[in-house]
A and B are shown apart, each in its own frame.
Chain A
């Protein structure tokens, strides 16, 4: 029996990176011939502006999908979240190895504020840096296909009421969660089909060449640099908004922290991420795994020679202060050192209890809204 096709989206690497390009093309070519899969190719997820058609395309996907990209899965997931492309974090088995003793951290009760308006579907984010073997991605996508189709079958033969929160087909019933058009299956407008690779067009001369040509026709997009918030970790403590002096952060109408003016962010500066007590701020392009969205304290995938070539090994807060001062100076502003926006935890060891009460109120408020 044929299940529903699984959508796979490849977010392309930045710049002209021959090794990465080749892997994208190999994976796309293999998937193109696969009857279980519909494969699309979009520009680098993080660099697309909110109105980019590649993002409009992603928003038009109502069901589960797999996203392959050149960042840690957390970074991909929360970049999508930022663009109102939401769903449960699908569990992928194709991940880099994490030290066992680091995984226990998650057992602590979380005070995180979580995402909002989450449709009931899975989004599987896979880091293309994990393996250079295309076959491993194909196999994982087949596994996910089976997993998703099993869930669909369970829904069909099981309870037909919507009470069961874990079944995945529900999202297709058209709850207009994203604010974009909600006309079900035919949601793709003419513009958006450009991202879907069509096997009919690619029988000659070779699928890989065809895909390379397809990529060459897409206009290059500008690199960007901004923080991405992981709301599964963020406690709304506001340390980032206090520390950043460039107006990047703001709050929404529920007083939730958000990245309001992303292009105010200073290219290369990850200072707010260093001062975040929950490590909830991701700069997907930063070289340090913990800042780029790695789970736990994993080692980098390659040897990092940055210290040798001039990097520093100061502690995180000192680094953040220096990075911020350098950006202030570059803007012709006064350097502030550690006199501005540093929470007490960085100077004294205990936290102010008064703030906690306010945060508790906020949590209660959110709870009462049923989010």
Chain B
């Protein structure tokens, strides 16, 4: 049954957030897929995208390549419902951005685990395994819902 290659699922109310098992995760809701040792492709998890919804604007505040500190502010994102500053998931070197997204960020919505990737990051930081990320989501879900409600009221 529980094939190691099957994606995990985290239920956000009725919505199934898919968590693929072929990559690792950061606590600030990004996936990191290893391209070569210590070089990762980074993108939003479906959990992030569900909260953001229809992203239409993405902008980076740093220029690649550049070194990053953990939680450094590196960009801004905006959708019709939400906005956020974007922070580095780890200390490392930002190698390149996905330039296609700057003209049209819709792949973030339509293919967040593929063509909607954000940037490549060289890091040796230790990330969460898929099951650990799901546990992290589970733990924070109530707080997240309260935060969203608090801002809507």
Q: Do A and B come from one complex?
A: yes
| Interface set of A (CB-CB < 8 Å, partner B) | 15-19, 267-268, 287, 299-300, 302-312, 326
User: Secondary structure of the B side of the interface?
Assistant: mixed
Contact of B81 among A16, A302, A311, A326 (CB under 8 A): A302
Expressed in whole angstroms, the minimum distance between the Cβ of B26 and any Cβ of chain A is 8
Closest to A268 in B: B73
Rank and list the top 10 A-B pairs by shortest CB-CB distance, nearest first.
Answer: A310-B87, A310-B28, A305-B84, A303-B82, A306-B85, A306-B84, A303-B151, A302-B83, A309-B28, A309-B84
- Verify B151–A308 contact, CB threshold 8 A: no
Expressed in whole angstroms, the minimum distance between the Cβ of B107 and any Cβ of chain A is 15
Closest to A14 in B: B59
- Verify A308–B78 contact, CB threshold 8 A: no
Size of interface on B: residues with Cβ below 8 Å to A: 31
Expressed in whole angstroms, the minimum distance between the Cβ of A224 and any Cβ of chain B is 12
Contact of B144 among A15, A16, A306, A308 (CB under 8 A): A308
**Interface assignment of B119: CB less than 8 Å from any CB of chain A:** no
Closest to A310 in B: B87
24 residue pairs A–B, Cβ–Cβ below 8 Å: A15-B57, A16-B102, A18-B56, A267-B61, A268-B73, A287-B83, A287-B84, A299-B151, A300-B83, A302-B78, A302-B82, A303-B83, A304-B82, A304-B83, A304-B151, A308-B51, A308-B144, A309-B48, A309-B85, A309-B86, A310-B28, A310-B71, A310-B87, A326-B72
**Interface assignment of B147: CB less than 8 Å from any CB of chain A:** yes
Expressed in whole angstroms, the minimum distance between the Cβ of B49 and any Cβ of chain A is 11
Residues of the B chain whose Cβ atoms lie less than 8 Å from the Cβ of A309: 28-29, 48, 84-87
Expressed in whole angstroms, the minimum distance between the Cβ of A38 and any Cβ of chain B is 31
When chains A and B are docked, how far (Å) is the Cα of A17 from the Cα of B78?
10
- Verify B85–A287 contact, CB threshold 8 A: yes
Residues of the A chain whose Cβ atoms lie less than 8 Å from the Cβ of B59: 15
**Interface assignment of B43: CB less than 8 Å from any CB of chain A:** no
**Interface assignment of B126: CB less than 8 Å from any CB of chain A:** no
Residues of the A chain whose Cβ atoms lie less than 8 Å from the Cβ of B51: 305, 308
Residues of the A chain whose Cβ atoms lie less than 8 Å from the Cβ of B73: 268
> Hey, what's the 0/1 contact readout for B43-70 against A, CB within 8 Å counting as 1?
0000010011000110101000000010
When chains A and B are docked, how far (Å) is the Cα of A213 from the Cα of B85?
31
When chains A and B are docked, how far (Å) is the Cα of A19 from the Cα of B52?
17
Closest to B47 in A: A308
**Interface assignment of B89: CB less than 8 Å from any CB of chain A:** yes
**Interface assignment of B148: CB less than 8 Å from any CB of chain A:** yes
- Verify A19–B57 contact, CB threshold 8 A: yes
Residues of the B chain whose Cβ atoms lie less than 8 Å from the Cβ of A16: 102-103
Given contacts A302-B78, A303-B148, contact A308 B69 (CB under 8 A): no
Closest to B89 in A: A310
**Interface assignment of B1: CB less than 8 Å from any CB of chain A:** no
- Verify B56–A305 contact, CB threshold 8 A: no
Contact of A312 among B56, B57, B71, B89 (CB under 8 A): B71
